[in-house]
């Protein structure tokens, strides 16, 4: 039976055609650093790429490879490279594809460290970066330079939730011979498949929705083209950004419940967004599922669901935002997102504090902006917690 022809819910439970020889239903953990060769020639052939197999876990491992295969199937790629963290995936991609004198164009409201590492570390090696509102197609056209190499977008963006039209941008990227990379962390393959919409590479922080339990770090880079996949794998494994087997086991376990977790959390998010829209306490509210979201129609076209993240503020006041956060009793005050428990944080002083106040304003990160990652608790309980926290503000 071809796994590619099965429904995505089935693919999550049976993610690969490979069968463990000992009959294990659960993915085994190959907790080994190195692998024994059959003989000297076998070892030489593995290093030369003449035979498939495993040499050293930094270069490949059966547990990690099974997770990579599963994610590759879900995103419709040619190959996947699992990394130790989401930033390992991002920095490994930058390192593999950028050279001195290159320019990268990116979403302004991207994860703080995805931007900071370009401006602080890669700039030292002569790599230029520009950050813009990638929901504006005209601005994209104007911002491409003769030495632009990569076009990197995060959609929905973190934490502004602006939406980039992946299909339209892919046409611009192809016309200008750019490598088009999409961070799909906020959606997962359940809600969005960038490679099918024209992207060359898709990236995930596996720490978030895909693992879904706040207990493991991880990232993945998935390429559409086999040659690009090989280039990425070579650099990422040489840099030592690769995942360990126990990480892969935990993420693979979380992957199996991805669809049902998103279904519940997304339903909760829609209910909470509607409640907030009806409550005058919330001066600003952003959720792609609301019709007044500026890119609602694009989100509706390219996403199968509107996600689990809501951003809002009470009156653009950082003080009131922190007062609200301190009064919550059920929703956990912590960074990260996509977990079974609802998590909430203040981007300006936390995840995006690496940006200057001016840069944050340009990204739509108001001083009082709050990011809520909705979990799988009962929506009524979450709404009650939000209501009691906002009463005295």
| CATH number of domain containing 372 | 3.90.1150.10
Phi, psi of 109 (to 5 degrees): -85, 65
Half-sphere exposure of 289 (CA within 13 A, CB side): 21
Q: Does the annotation mark 183 as catalytic?
A: yes
Residue 4: its pLDDT value, please? 74
Q: Give the chain's largest Cα–Cα span.
A: 74
Is residue 56 part of the annotated active site? The answer reads: no
Whether residues 227 and 262 share a domain: the answer is no
Q: Is the pLDDT of residue 20 over 60?
A: no
Check if the beta carbon of residue 2 is closer than 8 Å to that of residue 16. no
Mean pLDDT in the chain?
94
**Which one, of 162, 114, 113, lies nearest residue 134 by Cα?**
162
Total residues belonging to the chain: 393
Instruction: Establish whether 65 is a catalytic residue.
Output: no
Residues 250 and 272 in one domain: no
Residue 337 placed within a domain? yes
The predicted pLDDT at position 73 comes to 95
Residue numbers of the domain that contains 383: 258-390
Q: Are residues 169 and 283 in the same domain?
A: no
Chosen domain end from 255, 288, 319:
255
Shared domain for 39 and 132, answered yes or no, is yes
Please tell me which residue in 58, 115, 224, 360 is annotated as part of the active site: 58
Report whether pLDDT(387) > 90.
Answer: yes
Query: HEC profile for 215-257?
Result: CCCCEEEEECCHHHHHHHHHHHHHHCCECCHHHHHHHHHHHCC
Q: 84-88, 193-197, 351-355 — which is least confidently predicted?
A: 351-355
User: Which residues sit opposite 105 in a β-bridge?
Assistant: 130, 151
Q: In this model, does residue 18 exceed pLDDT 60?
A: no
Across 19-23, 244-248, 280-284, least confident range: 19-23
Q: How many domains does the chain have?
A: 2
The single residue listed with the structure tokens 């070892």 is 43
Do 41 and 52 lie in a common domain?
yes
Quick one: pLDDT at residue 89? 98
Burial class (CB in 10 A: 0-12, 13-18, 19+), 144: middle
Co-location of 299 and 364 in the same domain: yes
Average pLDDT over residues 261-282: 97
Give me the residue label for tokens 């460290």: 113
pLDDT attached to residue 360: 87
Q: Does 355 lie in the same domain as 219?
A: no
In a domain, 1, yes or no: no
The reply to whether 168 and 310 lie within a common domain is no
Residue 22: what pLDDT? 64
Helix (H, G, I), strand (E, B) or coil at 132: strand
Q: Which of 114, 67, 95, 107 is CA-nearest to residue 222?
A: 67
Last residue of a domain, one of 207, 237, 255: 255
Answer yes or no: do 156 and 200 share one domain: yes
Q: Quick one: pLDDT at residue 33? A: 96
263 in the same domain as 229: no
In a domain, 370, yes or no: yes
Q: Are residues 264 and 278 in the same domain?
A: yes
Ranges of H-type helices in the chain:
8-13, 40-48, 62-75, 86-97, 112-120, 137-143, 166-175, 188-191, 226-239, 245-255, 258-278, 296-302, 318-327, 357-362, 379-390
Q: Does some domain include residue 11?
A: no
Q: Which of 149, 193, 208, 256 is catalytic?
A: 208
DSSP sequence for 60-123: --HHHHHHHHHHHHHHT-SEEEEESSHHHHHHHHHHHH--TT-EEEEESSS-HHHHHHHHHTGG
Confidence of residue 241 (pLDDT cuts 50, 70, 90): very high
Q: Are 239 and 95 in contact (CB under 8 A)?
A: yes
Domain membership of residue 6 (yes or no) is no
30, 94, 102, 111: the catalytic one is 111
Do residues 273 and 351 share a domain? Answer: yes
Domain for residue 113, yes or no?
Answer: yes
Q: What pLDDT, in 10s, does the model give residues 43-72?
A: 999 999 999 999 999 999 999 999 999 999
For the cut 60, the answer to whether the pLDDT of residue 21 exceeds it is no
Q: Summarize the confidence of residues 22-30 as an average pLDDT.
A: 84
8 Å CB contact between 58 and 240: yes
Of the residues 183, 200, 313, 385, only one is catalytic, namely 183
Encoding tokens for residue 276? 């907030």
Predicted local distance difference test score (pLDDT) of residue 143: 98
Asked whether residue 33 is domain-assigned, the answer is yes
Residue 147 lies in a domain: yes
- CATH code, domain with 105: 3.40.640.10
Percent of the chain at pLDDT > 90 equals: 86
Spatial distance between the Cα atoms of 207 and 338, rounded to a whole number of angstroms: 8
Please state whether the predicted TM-score (pTM) of the whole model is above 0.85.
yes
Query: Is 208 a catalytic site residue?
Result: yes
């Amino acid at each position: 039976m071809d796994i590619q022809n099965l429904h995505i819910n089935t693919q999550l439970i049976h993610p690969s055609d490979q069968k463990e020889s000992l009959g294990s239903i659960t993915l085994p953990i190959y907790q080994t650093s190195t692998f024994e060769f059959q003989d000297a020639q076998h070892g030489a052939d593995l290093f030369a790429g003449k035979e498939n197999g495993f040499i050293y876990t930094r270069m490949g491992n059966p547990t990690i490879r099974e997770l990579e295969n599963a994610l590759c199937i879900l995103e419709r790629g040619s190959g996947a490279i699992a990394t130790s963290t989401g930033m390992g995936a991002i920095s490994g991609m930058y390192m593999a594809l950028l050279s001195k004198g290159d320019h990268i164009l990116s979403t302004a409201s991207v994860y703080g460290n995805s931007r900071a590492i370009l401006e602080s570390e890669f700039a030292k090696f002569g790599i230029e970066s520009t950050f813009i509102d990638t929901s504006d197609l005209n601005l994209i056209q104007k911002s491409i330079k003769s030495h632009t190499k990569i076009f990197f977008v995060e959609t929905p963006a973190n934490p502004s939730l602006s939406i980039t039209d992946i299909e339209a941008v892919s046409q611009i990227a192809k016309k200008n011979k750019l490598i088009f990379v999409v961070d799909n962390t906020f959606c997962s393959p359940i809600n969005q498949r960038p490679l099918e919409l024209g992207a060359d590479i898709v990236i995930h922080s596996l720490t978030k929705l895909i693992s879904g339990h706040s207990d493991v770090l991880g990232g993945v880079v998935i390429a559409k083209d086999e040659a690009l996949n090989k280039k990425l794998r070579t650099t990422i494994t040489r840099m030592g950004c690769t995942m360990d087997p126990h990480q892969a086991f935990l993420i693979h376990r979380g992957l199996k419940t991805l669809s049902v977790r998103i279904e519940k959390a997304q339903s909760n998010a829609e209910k909470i967004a509607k409640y907030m829209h009806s409550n005058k306490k919330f001066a600003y509210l952003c959720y792609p599922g609301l019709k007044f979201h500026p890119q609602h129609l694009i989100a509706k076209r390219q996403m199968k669901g509107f996600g689990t993240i809501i951003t809002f503020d009470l009156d653009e006041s950082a003080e009131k935002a922190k007062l609200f956060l301190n009064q919550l009793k059920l929703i956990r005050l912590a960074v990260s997102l996509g977990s079974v428990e609802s998590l909430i944080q203040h981007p300006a002083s936390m995840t995006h504090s690496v940006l200057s106040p001016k840069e944050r304003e340009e990204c739509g990160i108001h001083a009082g902006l709050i990011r809520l990652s909705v979990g799988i608790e009962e929506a009524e309980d979450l709404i009650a917690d939000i209501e009691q926290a906002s009463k005295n503000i």
